[in-house]
Structure 1
Amino acid sequence: MGYRRGKSLSKDMEKQSYERETAVGTTGMVVSPHSDATDIGEKILKEGGNAVDAAAAIQFALNVVEPMMTGIGGSGFLMVYDNEKKDVKIYDGHTRAPKGVHPKMFLDDNGEIIDFRKRSTHGTAVGIPGILKAMDTALNDYGSKPLADLIQPAIEAAESGIKVNWVLEEALQNFHYRLGDEAKAFYYPEGKSLKEGDKLVKEDLAKTFRILQKKGISAFYEGEIAKAIVSNLKEEGGFMTLEDLKNYRLTIDEPIWGEYKGYKIASSAPPSAGGLTVIQILKILEKFDLSQYDARSWEKYYLITEAMRLAFADKIAYSGDPEFSSLPIEGLLHDDYIAERAKAINFERRNDAIDFGNPWKYQDGKPNQVIRQPGDAEKSETTHFTVIDQWGNIAACTSTVEHPFGSGIMVKGYGFMLNNELTDFDANPGGINEPQPDKRPVSCKSPTFLFKDDKPVLTLGSPGGPTIIGSVFQTIVNLIDHEMNLKEAIEEPRIFASTGPLIEWESGIDMEAKGEMESMGFEFGDEPSRIGNVQAIQIDRENGRLYGAADSSREGKAAGIKEDQLKS
C-alpha cells in the first residue's frame, strides 16, 4: 500500500492509517477527508439522521478543520440519491457573479490580463457563496433533523479547539502568500505559522455558526453576516452588494447520464464541466478496452492521457453556464462524435494536432466563439465527502473556496474565508465563460454515482480543480477494468494531463512506462505530486455490505455503521 502524503511511514503507522481510511458497514457509511468530520457525520447517522442530515453536519465541520479547502464562504454541488423515488438530484450551490462584474474585469488599464495571483486574491475575485443555500434547500426537501442540531457539533469543535494536522500545516507553508491581513494574523499568531499538533480555537467562526443556528441560513444572505461580507469586500476593492447576496439563486439540476461497460453513470451537470468530461473520457476509452492492459503499462498511460487531452480540449472550448449559452452536450457525447475523436489516438506518439472538435455537427444549435485563455492559473483545491444512510439514500458533495484559502479574505469578526471563484471565469473575454452578472463560472466538480441494473453500486468524488476529472475517471477504470478493490483503486498512482504535452504524475507509476511515454513526445513534471483526494463508498448488494475508503493523500476517515449501532 503506497501512501502519497510525501512522508515515509512506519509499519505501525501505515497499518493505523489503513484502518482509519477503510471501513465496512451494513446500514450506513461516512467517508470524508478529515476524521473529525467523519465522526460527526457518523454520530448523526447513528442517532437516526439521514444522508442529507449527515452531509450538512459534515460541511459545517469541514469549515472548522479544513478552512483552506471549503467553508460557508464558498460553493458546492450536493448530489442526492433518493432511494424511495429512485431519483438523482443535484443541488447546485455554485457561486454566482455579483451585478457589478463585467467581461473585462480581469484586464488592466492597458488591456493586459492581470497576473493570476493578483486577480485571485482581490475583492473582485469573490463570487456570491452558495454552499449554505444548497445545504438548506436539500434539508428542506429531505432533512429529518433541525438545522440547529446539525450545526452544533461544528460549534463545539470550533469553541473547544481542533488540533492542526499536517494537511493544514502544509497548506499554510505553501500558500501563505494567499492570506490577507486578517487571515494571516489568525493563522500566524505572533508571526509564526501554526504547526501540526497546535490547538486552534475558532471563536469568531463559532459566533457565526450560532447566528445561523438561531436565525437560519437566511441570516447569511441578509442581516449582520451579509453586511460584514459586503463591508469587507468594499475595503478589498470588491463590488458585491447586499442585494447580490439577498438575490442569490440556487438551481436543482438533473445529472448528466452516461454508460461505461454496462454501468450507468450519473455525474454533475453544467455549469460544472466535470461530469460531462468524465463521461466523455470514459466513452473514448471504451473504444479501446483498457482491461487488456496492465494497470501500470505504457499503453494504459498513453490511452488515458490522449483521452484526457481530447476531452479537455473540448471542455475548454464548450463549457459555460447553460442559463447564458447553448452547450453542445448531446453532440459531445454522441457516439459518432466519440468515434471521430477516438481516431486521433494512434499508439505511435503524442498527437501534436489534438484540439477541440466540432460537436455542433451532431446537435442543433448556434456554435459558440472559442477564445484562447492564458495558462497561468494555479492548481486549485477543494474537498469531497459522501454518505449512505440506513434507508439507502446517498449524499455526495464537492465543496470549495476554490484555491487554497480562497481569496485569502477572512471576514473580520466572523472567522470564515471568502472564495476566489470568479477567477474560474475566462480572463480573456469574448467566449461563453466570460464574466457576466448573475452568471456561474465553469467548474470541474464531479460528484458521481454508478448504477448496475438501475441500482447504485458506487458513490465517489474528489477535489483538485481540473484534476478532479482525472481522479474520478481513473478510480472508475481501476475498479471496472483492472478489478481492484475500492482502496486499491483509490491508491493506484494517478497521472493527469490537460491539452498540452505535460503530464503530472504520482509517485509509484511505472518508470519504464514513463520512459516509453517520454520517447513518444510526452513531458513529465520533474517531481511527483499528489493528484486529487478521492472519497468513495461501494455497495455490495450480494453480501449486504458497504465498503468505504478515504484517500491517503489527506487524513481522511471512513466509518461504517452496523444495525446494532443505530439508536432505536
Structure 2
Amino acid sequence: MLQQGGSAVDGVIAALLCTSVVNPQSMGIGGGSIVTIRDRTGKVRVYNFRETVPRSYKTNLLEDCPKTFSMSSGSQWIGVPGELRGYEVLHKEFGRLPWNKLFEPTVKLAREGIPLPSYLEQFLGSALVRHRNHLKKGDILKYPKLAETMEAVGRLGAEEFYSGKIGRDLIEDIKEIGGTLMLDDLKGYKVRVEDALQVSLGDTLMHILHHQQGALCLPLFSRFVSPRSLDADQKIQLYHRYVEAAKFANGQKRNVCDPQFNNEKVNSVFINQIRALILNQTHDSTFYSSVTPPSDHFGTTHVSVLDENGLAVSATSTINQLFGGAIYSPRTGIILNNELADFCGRADSVKPGELTPSSMTPVVLETAPGGLLVIGGSGGSMITTAVALVTSLTLKFLFLLKDAIAAPIVFVDSRGNVNFEDGFDESVIEGLRALGHKVGNWKYFLNVVNAVEFERGCISAFSDSRKMGEAAGY
C-alpha cells in the first residue's frame, strides 16, 4: 500500500484486514480497535473504536462471568463492533488511496485461499483450543462469505455494514442464536476521538489514551531507570521496581474504564502519587488495590506504521478472546467479538453505549533529538508490561529494537504472581523471590510487540517472532 502511494493509515487498514484472515483468532471486522496517530504537524490524537455495550443486553450479564481462567463464549458477550466505522473515519482524514483498494488484496486472499498459516496451525494444535483440529499443514483456507462481505464494504463503504444488507444479515444471525444486538446499535455507533495524554519520561514524551492501564506502567517504572540499572549489582532492584509498577497498574484496572461513565482519570499528578509508593519492598495485594483485579486473558493484534511523509500510526485491534466468543455469522462470514466479557472483574454494572475496558496500549513516543518510536503489542493482559519493558530497553538501555522485543519478559498476573518467560535471568528470579515476590507458573507467553523506530535519519522496524511475524518496508 505504501509503495502504491498510500499513507500509513492506508497501510494500517490494509494490514489489519489481512490479519483478520491470517490470524482470525485475534481480530477482525466483528471487533474494534484503538489507534494512536501522530500527524505531520506533530499533533497526536487517539481514535477509539472499541466495541460498546448494546442498547439491550442481558440484565444479569455479569453473573455469567467465569470465576476461574476460562474463555467466555456465547452471544450475550457481543459488543457493538466499531472496526469498520473506525477505518472509515481514519481513511477520510488520512487516506490517500481509494477505499476499495485497501480491501482488494484481502478479498483475493479470502476468496482464492491461503495455505494454513504456521502460527495458526501451531495454535490450533494447542491445548487452548477445545475442539479437535482437523486442519493440517498444507491445507488451503478459504473464506468465501467473508470475501463477499469485504468486497461489498470495499465497493459500497462502511455504511453497508452499519445500516445496509450486511448489517441486516449480521443482526439476523445474532438474533437466531439469542443475541441482543440490534441494527439500531450498528446505526448509532460513533468513533471517539481525543487528544492523547502526554506523559514526560525524561527526554522522551509519551502519547497514549488517557484512560488506559498502559498509561500507568511505563511512566511509573521509567523514573527508576538509569544507564547502569542493568549492571549486575542493580539488576534485581530494577526488576523489583518494574514488578511493583506492574502491580500498581493491575490495581487500577477497575479505574481505567470509559471516562463518560467513570470519573477516574489517569494524569501526571495521579502517576506521581502512585510512583512515590514504589519502595524497596513488596506488599500483599491489598496494598495495590482494595478489590481483586479481573482474571487474565490474551488476544488482539498490533501493527505500527511510519510513512515517508512522517505520519506515524500505532494500531491495536481485537475481537477480545480467542476467536471472540466463538460466534460465527454464516450469512456474512464474520467472527463476532466477546468484548463485554472485559467488564468481568472491572465493573459492578454495564450501561448502554459504554466502551469496553482494555489493556490495549498503542503508543507514539517522541525522543530527542527529533526521533520517534511507534510501538504497541498484543497478548491481552500481557500487553502493558511487555510494551513497557521493550520501550525501556530500547530508549533507556539502547538495545537494538530487535533485541529488545526478543528479550524474555516478566508478566505480573492478576493475583500478583510474577511469571517469567523461558530464558529469563535465573539470578533475577531468585533475587525477586528473596524480596518476597511470589513466582507464578503462567504458561502462555503470547505477548507480541511490533514497533518502528526513527532515529537520526535511520528507520528500524521489528515484528515479534513469537507469532512468526516479519517487518516490511521499502
Q: TM-score range by the shorter chain?
A: over 0.9
1:117 Cα offset (Å): 7.9
Aligned partner of residue 466 in structure 2, secondary structure: coil
1:351 Cα offset (Å): 1.9
Contiguous gaps of at least 5 residues in structure 1: 1-43, 180-190, 358-369, 562-568
How far, CA to CA, are the matches of 1:515 and 1:115 in structure 2? 31
Q: Please give the per-residue CA displacement for 1:206-253, whole angstroms capped at 9, x wherever unaligned.
A: 111111122111111112221222222223322111111111111112
8 Å CA contact 1:310–1:354 kept in 2: the answer is no
Question: Quick check: 1:125 aligned with 2:43?
Answer: no
8 Å CA contact 1:507–1:528 kept in 2: the answer is no
8 Å CA contact 2:213–2:253 kept in 1: the answer is no
Distance change >3 Å, CA 526–CA 322, structure 1 → 2 = closer
Query: Residue type of the partner of 2:89?
Result: T
What is the aligned partner in structure 1 of residue 37 from structure 2? 80
Q: Decide which of 254, 277, 286 is 1:341's aligned counterpart.
A: 277
What is the aligned partner in structure 2 of residue 255 from structure 1? 196
Q: Please give the per-residue CA displacement for 1:377-422, whole angstroms capped at 9, x wherever unaligned.
A: 4522110001111111111210011001001111113222100100
1:141 Cα offset (Å): 0.7
What is the aligned partner in structure 2 of residue 310 from structure 1? 248
Aligned partner of residue 49 in structure 1, secondary structure: coil
Question: Quick check: 1:461 aligned with 2:376?
Answer: yes
Which stretch of structure 1 is more off in the superposition, 466-475 or 498-507? 498-507
What is the aligned partner in structure 1 of residue 283 from structure 2? 351
Question: Quick check: 1:426 aligned with 2:351?
Answer: no
Question: Quick check: 1:176 aligned with 2:133?
Answer: no
Q: TM-score, normalised by structure 1?
A: 0.78
Pick the structure with greater CA Rg. Answer: 1
Distance change >3 Å, CA 331–CA 355, structure 1 → 2 = farther
**What percentage of residue pairs aligned between the two structures are identical?**
26
Summarize the alignment of residues 207-222 of structure 1 with structure 2, pairs less than 5 Å apart.
207-222=148-163
1:374 Cα offset (Å): 7.0
What is the aligned partner in structure 1 of residue 459 from structure 2? 546
Q: Decide which of 26, 30, 34 is 1:69's aligned counterpart.
A: 26
Query: Residue type of the partner of 1:176?
Result: V
How far, CA to CA, are the matches of 2:256 and 2:442 in structure 1? 31
How far, CA to CA, are the matches of 2:178 and 2:59 in structure 1? 17
What is the aligned partner in structure 2 of residue 13 from structure 1? none
Q: Please give the per-residue CA displacement for 1:506-563, whole angstroms capped at 9, x wherever unaligned.
A: 111111221222233323334654251111111022xx221011111012111221xx
Give the number of equivalent residue pairs.
472
Q: Decide which of 213, 232, 256 is 1:319's aligned counterpart.
A: 256
What is the aligned partner in structure 2 of residue 276 from structure 1? 215
Q: Please give the per-residue CA displacement for 1:108-138, whole angstroms capped at 9, x wherever unaligned.
A: 6xxxx55578882110101001111111101
1:486 Cα offset (Å): 0.7
Which stretch of structure 1 is more off in the superposition, 420-429 or 122-131? 420-429
Query: Residue type of the partner of 1:551?
Result: D
How far, CA to CA, are the matches of 2:11 and 2:269 in structure 1? 35
Which stretch of structure 1 is more off in the superposition, 259-268 or 400-409? 259-268
Aligned partner of residue 61 in structure 2, secondary structure: coil
Distance change >3 Å, CA 421–CA 499, structure 1 → 2 = closer
1:454 Cα offset (Å): 7.7
8 Å CA contact 1:354–1:499 kept in 2: the answer is no
What is the aligned partner in structure 2 of residue 436 from structure 1? 351
Distance change >3 Å, CA 301–CA 373, structure 1 → 2 = closer
What is the aligned partner in structure 2 of residue 93 from structure 1? 49
8 Å CA contact 1:383–1:462 kept in 2: the answer is yes
Contiguous gaps of at least 5 residues in structure 2: none
Higher RCO (C-alpha 8 Å, min separation 6): 1
What is the aligned partner in structure 1 of residue 171 from structure 2? 230
How far, CA to CA, are the matches of 2:50 and 2:236 in structure 1? 38
1:326 Cα offset (Å): 1.1
Aligned partner of residue 259 in structure 1, secondary structure: strand
Cα RMSD of the aligned pairs, angstroms, is 2.4
8 Å CA contact 2:146–2:334 kept in 1: the answer is yes
How far, CA to CA, are the matches of 2:346 and 2:379 in structure 1? 23
Aligned partner of residue 321 in structure 1, secondary structure: coil
Aligned partner of residue 547 in structure 1, secondary structure: strand
Distance change >3 Å, CA 490–CA 428, structure 1 → 2 = closer
How far, CA to CA, are the matches of 1:403 and 1:228 in structure 2? 24
Aligned partner of residue 209 in structure 1, secondary structure: helix
